[in-house]
Amino acid sequence: MKTVSLKIDDIIFGETEEILSIVQKPRNRYINEALTYYNRMNKREIIKRELARESDLVKDNSISVLKEFEGIEYDGSSI
């Protein structure tokens, strides 16, 4: 486990302390859970951007393949 020193805005610290007194959770645990949540959220956003970029890269090729499939005659027999 790593020790980190950080500065927190007074308003955020006050809100956090109020919530901690209600949920009866140690500050350290609360901050760790918040960072875990924030990391997950940002990882999802990173993946979303990567998928959008990769999808854009293959878009023209995908449209070309779809047009080729549209031109194939279907005789009703199973493949």
pLDDT of 65 reads 78
**Taking a C-beta distance cutoff of 8 angstroms, is the pair 30, 12 a contact?**
no
pLDDT in tens, 45-77: 999 999 998 888 787 777 787 777 777 766 666
Half-sphere exposure of residue 57: CA atoms within 13 angstroms, side-chain side: 6
pLDDT of 74 reads 67
Residue with tokens 């805005």: 9
Distance CA 67, CA 63 (A): 6
User: How large is the average pLDDT for residues 7-25?
Assistant: 96
User: How large is the average pLDDT for residues 6-16?
Assistant: 96
Tell me: pLDDT of 41 over 90: yes
